[in-house]
Structure 1
Amino acid sequence: MDRAPYDMLLDHKRPSVSLAANREQIAALTLMSVWRRRYLILFILLLSVTAAVAALQVLPRIYASEAVVQLELAHRTADRPATGAPTVVLDPAALVQNEARILRSRPLVRAVVDELGLADRFGGGGGLPALLQRLPPPLIEPARLALDTILPGRTEQDTAELRRERAMRQVLANLTVSTDNRSYLVSIGYKATDPELAARIANAVAEIYLRREVEGRRDLAQRRVAWIDEQVEQASGRLAELETEIAAFRERTNILEPGVPGAGGDGENVARQQLRALTSQLNAAIMTRMNEERRLARVQEIVAAGGTPSASDVQGQPLISALLERELAARRDLGQLQTRLGSQHPRVAEARAGLGEVRGRLAAEGRRAVEIARTELEAARRNETELTAALTALQRNMIEAKPDETALRTLQANAQETQTRLAALVRGRQQTLADAAIAPPSAVLAMAAEPVRAATSPRPAIVLLLGVAGGGILGVGLGLLLERRDQGVRTSGDIDDTAGARCLGMVPQLPPRDAVAIASETHHKASGMPIFQEAIRSVGASVGLFDATRGCRIVLVTSAMPGEGKSTFCAALACALASAGRRVMLIDGVPARRDAQPVEPARFEEASEGLPVPADGSAPKNSMVVIRRSASLRAGADVFGTDRFRTLIEDATSQFDVIIIEGAPVMLVADSLVLGRLADTVIQVVRWSSTRKSVLSTALRRMRDHGVSVDGIVVNRVNLRRHAALRFVDQCTFYVKERRFYERLAGRGRASRRMVVR
């Protein structure tokens, strides 16, 4: 198949094809380009695999260990005080995420670093001191002195803190904490170059976390017990005062128990029953008023002091109870956060702000509670006033008796209330101590980390796969880019697509010894000559130079740039024509070219104006005359100077069958633009895989603009070995395939083929 350029889609002059055919053609061209660059791709692939193998040897082995902590969120919910007030229900997944954040917190990592002594292991691997240790020994001390002069000195405490900070950063970088939303498990993983160290750090993180959880629960229980002890002490003192007052009252009034028949010497009657009933009601009203007064006084005192009323003081107000529960939970959370994270942590600040908000709302509700308590006190007072009036009316009919019973009953009621509260406090203290002693932990170590001897990275299969994939992609990409960059003429299809002219033939490249044989008139002895001679004859036959019936033919051989190989081509073409019995004159060389050497025309006499002819007036048959243009002339002097060159050419037409003129490069010298008008045939020589198609197109366009028509293009100096590797199908393809045929053909006709070169 012919070679097609990748810019074919940008050429609007090409015939349109179907989309499927275009895609198939592009795919075929791409695969062919990859095949042509297969050795480059294989070389890059080999380099990539070698680099991957080297990376496997250089990269450190990383080992990972994992510890699993199981959270007991049900126990945490059970630890909350059971009240009738609504509580805030948190999502279990959010609680698990919170615990995961705590596991990755800096205070916990700092505790791990301090406990395992990682500051000495991880903290000295960077910074200027480490760089100083890498200097040659004579330079370490001067560099340290210079560093102390430029930078401020650090104390040992600052250095230790810096080392600990570096160790913390490294631990945080290699520590991973992952959670599963479907369970209460938290995985603690750590990666290190030492499997033992990875397991130790993962277990240390889990153990310190569990230890802090236990310490937090113990501290909370201790605070609860301390508060209960304080309340017990106050209630015990109040109960002792009430008992002393009751004993003194009984001794003063000689009343053992109030309301007992016969205790005062009077029997039970309706009036006494009514009096007792009214007295009981009045006592209840008095107690209600007194409670309301005490509650109002306590609420006012607490609100005035900026405190929060207790739940017993705000009965009937569930919002305050709920706020009290929220305040208790916020204080508990704040205490736990301060214990685990310290007072300066952002989460502690957020918890403190939340506690302040709840307390603000409690203060507002406290002021409202004061008004409600005052209203209830007024109602209690009105009720007491009414009962007092009724009792006064009843007492008018009977002698005021036993007023001290009411007072005694009141004292006893107060004592009973205080005793009941004291018993409740004692039971609460015992329950708190029992919970702290036997309550299950809120988190347990489900699985401890163990050293894993199998490295997690680097993975040889993945590294090698990446190396192979990267090398393949890089090789294919580079091959396609090089193929896209290659714009040289390499096949006859490039001539037809780019130059717009026909390809006369493709001439193989001669080995150096064969090129020397061409110059030394012994080309019939060169091993590579059969194919070369056949290619030269094919070019001559394509323009009719072997036709003896057409008279003298003037052939101009030119090129776009120097180094195309037209000199060797002209000499070979002249030799082929001479060996075929044609009389050939070769005007070889370009003026001012350093290798041009004038040839003296021996055994020739000057004809009209210096044309070399034989003595008998006619050129001999089967002869070739070589005339080199003088190297002493400046470029173009013989063409543009006088009409002598044109006259010589016209005189030679009667003496020779073919006149071959080697023209100068079209893009550099204007000789060919003038000589092209004198020539019957113009041949453009391009060098295989060297002359760019754009340069060839420009040269042909320049010649057409000056009225010179190019009959055909010859692709010269074709490297048959490289051409065969490119998988192009053209004339040179068969030169390679049928090399033995040309060798046998040259063997049969070599004895009869002679050339006379002058």
Structure 2
Amino acid sequence: MDSAPYAMLLDHKRPDVSLAGHRERVAANTFMSIWRRRYIIVLVVLLALGAAAAALMLMPRVYSSEAVIQLELAHRTSARPASAGAPAVVLEPAALVQNEARILRGRPLMRTVVEELGLAEQAAAPNRLAALLNFLPAHVADRVRQLGERLQPSPAAMEAAELRRDQAMRDILSRLSVTTDNRSYLVSIGYRANDPELAARVANAVAAAYLRREVEERRESAERRTAWIDDQIQQTSADLEKVRAEITQFRQRTNILEPGRGGAAGDAENVAQQQLRTLTSQLNAAILARMNEERRLSRVQEIVSAGGTPSASDVQGQPLISALLERELVARRDLGQMQTRLGSQHPRVAEAAAGLAEVRGRLAAESRRAIDIARADLTAARRTEAELTAALQTLQRGMIEAKPDEVALQSLQTGAQETQERLAALIRSRQQTLADAAIAPASAFLVMPAEPMRAAASPRPMIVMLIGLAGGGILGIGLGLLLERRDLGVRTSGDIEEAGGPRCLGMVPSLPSRDVAAMAKEAEHKVSDMPIFQEAIRSVGASVGLFDAARGCRLVLVTSAMPGEGKSTVCAALACALAASGRRVMLIDGVPGRRDVQPVEPAEFGDGNQVVPGSQTDSAAQNTMVVIRRRASLRAGADVFGTDRFRALIEEASKQFDVIIIEGAPVMLVADSLVLGRLVDTVIQVVRWADTKKAILSASLERMRDHGVAVDGIVVTRVNLRRHAALRFMDQCSFYVKERRFYDRLAGNGRASRRARAI
């Protein structure tokens, strides 16, 4: 026997799978898991729908009513400037609407609604008296409640009433909804209650309380504003009278009628400023006159020094010079004419020359006299300039000394002017406030009052049933996936790969368990009635090469992880199939029975062993199967943990048989298979369909690998073909169900051939 196979471990590797393939495989497995658990999912969905229907019947009906208020906030969005030129304050309309919505949910407003509707008493005492009060008129019910409060005026009763009121307020706030629309000034007031009349009444009460509050606040605001303005007017009038009296006293004390305004355009000048301006103009004129006189004197002196005669413009104050100049001109002309007509020696020419000389002499005397006159005029001009300069300086000193008084007077006048303007503004504000209070439109009004709604707002049957359906579907799918995640045992060849096991040698359909001898007796008669089972067994033998006659004697160990896996049936069926194919088979059946007895030598093959009917006694004969039951025939002395007799027995049998099948003990319970696995050529592990857990299979394979035992393959037994087909997994068993007619025809052909041979 070759010991290499049991010294090597199977290196089981899965094929590489791409990420997309892995995702497709996970998705497909998920959908298949849902399909396999569809009955559980449908059951959970039906239970959820039933629970939703029951909840729908038990849930109280809630009715909703809505009142709509429209806000007029145009006069609030822009505040008036406090004074001319001051920037206006722009307010955001959406913020104002949100503020009003917050006021609608305020506790003061809720307290008013609770007191008006008497909700505190209804919430506190839902008894017959409270129910009776609801049917009474409002004023009668209020009188009855007031009488009850008077009968119990104790502090404890008052505290209890306050607690009831707070509870009613909290209940209203929990049921009240205030919604706004940022695109408009509409505010919706909704209220939910079990009574439609109560829902409409509370919504309208909240709207009415808010509108009354707006009216009262506007009236109180106008009254407060008017009272404040009246106080300011009275105080400002007193301040104005006081300032005016101070101005009068100051004028009497300083003799200043009006302060100067600096001479700016449009400003009045006082007397001192007017005098200053006049003196300044006169001084400027005097300086100009002096300068003219100085120039005229200089010019006259130059003309006279040169022997000339001043012009008429230079001697405007001496008309005699002008006359002499005219006479000189006439005399000079006459002299020239006479000289031309009479000659220079004529007596008349001499007389004319003497007259011209006389005129020139008088003109020279007058010119000298003009210089004296010009000097006198210059002296007078200088004196006038000096006088005006002194007067101007005196006036300036006086104005400088009076400047603080003017500033003080101007300050007093400015204060009086401002006080007067403020008084006028206050009077206008008072008039505007009175006008606004009288004719200003309401800041809010009720657009749509709430009306009782006969249709319940909740619960909505469709939504509840949809929620139940969705919840049941999710719960059912989750439960189905969780059940699929459980270790339900090995059900497909893919489960063997997930458990890290070797290849799947075959999947044997479910078969009623029977004794090995009974199976051997019925093998010739029942083989045609079990075509699928027989083909599955042949597939197992072919997978490990047991039908190959050229390989010599083969030692096969069939083991399992736990008892009841079906290895006895597999061993017996495999032995029958091999024997039917002409192989000499020895089957060592059963697990050892270890009893504390004296060891007994094993009997010879001819004693106590079972032989298949129809076989020959010769050990080399064909179609022979020998079955040895270890419980009855072998004792501890010939067992695997004894001496080498068991090994010797196997070596002796290998000379006479083609295949020796040994049924091993459960790996997780007995150590026989760990020892036998080193002696045999092939190790087959049997697992029970949907019963052997994948964890147990992995543990048993790991244990055998740790002890150097290599498992050649896994055989799945007792496969329920109908349930396996529901798994929608493509493996060997999938075709057993699909092609059952093929196996039926195969079984029929077998019967026909046997009948032909019998004939």
Contact conserved, 1:592 with 1:632, CA < 8 A, in 2?
no
CA distance in 1, matches of 2:12, 2:452: 69
Shift of 1:749: 3.1
3-state SS of paired residue (2:191): strand
Q: Which amino acid aligns with 2:41?
A: I
**Larger Rg computed on CA atoms:** 2
- Give, in whole Å, the separation in 2 of the partners of 1:17 and 1:617: 55
Q: Give the AA of the match of 2:559.
A: T
* Partner residue, 1:27: 27
The reply to whether residue 682 of structure 1 matches residue 683 of structure 2 is: yes
* 1:164 matches 2:165: yes
Deviates more, 1:195-204 or 1:461-470: 461-470
**Equivalent in the alignment of 2:404:** none
Between the aligned partners of 1:625 and 1:114, the Cα distance in structure 2 is 104
> Which AA in structure 1 matches 2:44?
I
- Report SS of the residue matched to 1:155: helix
Q: Distance in 2 between matches of 1:384 and 1:477?
A: 106
Instruction: State how 1:179-258 maps to structure 2 within 5 Å.
Output: 179-219=180-220
Which residue in 2 is equivalent to 1:381? 249
Q: Counterparts of 1:255-274 in structure 2 under 5 Å?
A: none
Residues 210 and 527 of structure 1: CA distance in aligned 2, closer, same or farther (over 3 Å): farther
* TM-fit CA distance, 1:445: 1.4
Question: How far 1:14 moved relative to its partner?
Answer: 5.0
Contact 2:559 2:686 in 1 (8 A): yes
Is 1:665 aligned to residue 533 of structure 2?
no
Deviations 1:249-272 (A, max 9, x none): xxxxxxxxxxxxxxxxxxxxxxxx
Task: Name the residue aligned to 1:537.
Answer: 538
| Shift, 1:447, TM fit | 1.2
Distance 2:632 2:606 in 1: 23
Q: Is the 8 A contact 1:605 1:615 kept in 2?
A: no
Q: Give 1:448 deviation, angstroms.
A: 0.6
Q: Deviations over 1:274-333 (max 9, x none)?
A: xxxxxxxxxxxxxxxxxxxxxxxxxxxxxxxxx9994446679xxxxxxxxxxxxxxxxx
For 1:42 and 1:708, locate their aligned partners in 2 and report how far apart those are by CA, in whole Å: 47
Q: Which moved more, 1:549-558 or 1:689-698?
A: 689-698
Q: Deviations over 1:145-198 (max 9, x none)?
A: xxxxxxxx9822222222221111010111112223333322211111222111
Matched, 1:44 2:44: yes
Equivalent-residue separation in structure 2 for 1:24 and 1:78 (angstroms):
65
CA contact (8 A) 2:664 2:672 kept: yes
| Structure 1 residues 546 and 72: alpha-carbon distance in aligned structure 2, compared to 1, 3 A threshold | closer
The residue aligned with 2:57 is 57
Counterparts in 2 of 1:468 and 1:425: CA distance versus 1, 3 Å:
closer
* TM-score of the aligned structures, taking structure 2 as reference length: 0.61
For the residue of structure 2 that corresponds to 1:639, the secondary structure is: coil
Deviates more, 1:576-585 or 1:736-745: 576-585
CA distance 1:488–1:92, shift in 2 (3 Å)? same
| Number of positions where the alignment pairs a residue of Structure 1 with one of Structure 2 | 547
**How many Å apart are 1:537 and its aligned residue?**
2.1
Which residue of structure 1 lines up, in the alignment, with residue 709 of structure 2? Answer: 708
Distance 1:685 1:78 in 2: 91
Q: 1:554 touches 1:681 (CA, 8 Å); kept in 2? A: yes
Moved more, 196-205 or 550-559: 550-559
1:100 aligns to 2:119 (yes or no)? no
The one-letter code of the counterpart of 1:33 is: S
Match of 2:144 in 1: none
Q: Residues 610 and 648 of structure 1 are in contact (CA less than 8 Å); yes or no, is this contact kept in structure 2? A: no
| Equivalence for 2:444 | 443
For 2:630 and 2:741, locate their aligned partners in 1 and report how far apart those are by CA, in whole Å: 40
The answer (yes or no) to whether the contact 2:501–2:701 under 8 Å persists in 1 is no
Structure 2 Cα separation of the partners of residues 211 and 93 of structure 1: 23
Letter of the aligned partner of 1:447 in structure 2? M
Question: 1:125 & 1:621 partners in 2: Cα distance?
Answer: 100
Cα RMSD (Å) of the superposition?
4.9
**Hey, what does 1:342 align to over in structure 2?**
none
> Cα 1:381–1:35, aligned 2, differ >3 Å: closer, same or farther?
same
- The verdict on how the C-alpha distance between 1:697 and 1:474 changes in structure 2, with shifts beyond 3 A counting, is same
Whole-Å separation in 1 of the counterparts to 2:699 and 2:627: 31
Q: Deviation string for 1:575-615 (max 9, x for gaps)?
A: 33334444433222213599xxxxx99xx974699988999
Instruction: Report how far residue 207 of structure 1 moved.
Output: 1.1
Q: Deviations over 1:506-546 (max 9, x none)?
A: 1112246x789966954755997321122112222333334
CA contact (8 A) 2:487 2:694 kept: no
Q: 1:210 to 1:625 in 2, by over 3 A?
A: same
Please tell me whether the aligned partners of residues 585 and 626 of structure 1 are also in contact (alpha carbons under 8 angstroms): yes
Q: Shift in Å at residue 451 of structure 1?
A: 1.4
Cα distance in 2, alignment partners of residues 616 and 721 from structure 1: 43
CA distance in 2, matches of 1:716, 1:197: 72
1:739 is displaced (CA, Å) by: 1.6
Moved more, 425-434 or 174-183: 425-434
Q: What is the CA deviation profile of residues 64-92 of structure 1, one whole-angstrom value per residue up to 9, with x for unaligned ones?
A: 21111223345779999998796866444
**Cα gap change, 1:628/1:183 in structure 2, threshold over 3 Å: closer, same or farther?**
same
How far apart, in 2, do the equivalents of 1:626 and 1:212 lie? 107
Contact residue 605 and residue 612 of structure 1 kept, 8 A: no
Aligned AA (2:205): A
**1:747 CA displacement:** 3.9
**Amino acid corresponding to residue 42 of structure 1 in structure 2:** V
Residue equivalent to 1:134: none
Residue 472 of structure 2: aligned partner: 471
* Distance in 2 separating the partners of 1:733 and 1:751: 28
For 1:504, the equivalent position in structure 2 comes to: 505
How many angstroms apart in 2 are the aligned matches of 1:445 and 1:192?
Answer: 22
In structure 2, the partner of 1:118 is 119
- 1:379-428 superposed Cα distances (whole Å, 9 cap, x missing partner): 553212244999xxxxxxxxxxxxxxxxxxxxxxxxxxxxxxxxx99999
Sort the Cα spacing of 1:489 and 1:381 in 2 relative to 1 into closer, same or farther, 3 A. Answer: same
Counterpart Cα distance in 1 of 2:58 and 2:617: 88
Give 1:251's aligned residue.
none
Question: Residue 81 and residue 642 in structure 1: after superposition, are their counterparts in 2 closer, same or farther (change >3 A)?
Answer: closer
Give the structure 1 partner of residue 131 of structure 2: none
- Distance in 2 between residues matched to 1:583 and 1:172, nearest whole Å: 93
Amino acid at match of 1:454: A
Distance 1:12 1:572, change over 3 A: closer
Q: What amino acid does structure 2 have at the position aligned with 1:385?
A: R
Q: Distance in 2 between matches of 1:164 and 1:175?
A: 16
Q: Is the 8 A contact 2:67 2:450 kept in 1?
A: yes
Find the aligned partners of 1:389 and 1:582 in 2 and give their Cα distance. Answer: 153
Q: Distance in 2 between matches of 1:70 and 1:180?
A: 11
Tell me the amino acid that sits aligned with residue 156 of structure 1.
Answer: A
The question of whether the paired residues in 2 share the 8 Å contact of 1:76 and 1:442 is answered with no
| SS of residue paired to 2:480 | helix
CA contact (8 A) 2:609 2:628 kept: no
Gaps (5+ residues) in structure 2? 1-10, 128-153, 259-424
Q: Counterparts of 1:197 and 1:671 in 2: how far apart (Å)? A: 85
Distance 1:609 1:104, change over 3 A: same
Q: Does 1:625 align with 2:626?
A: yes
CA distance in 2, matches of 1:159, 1:81: 51
CA distance, structure 2, for counterparts of residue 309 and residue 434 of structure 1 = 20
Secondary structure of the corresponding residue to residue 470 of structure 1: helix
1:638 correspondence with 2:635: no
Residues of 2 paired with 1:208 and 1:430: CA distance? 30
Secondary structure class of the residue paired with 2:686: strand
Aligned-pair CA distance for 1:222: 6.2
Aligned-partner SS, 1:677:
coil
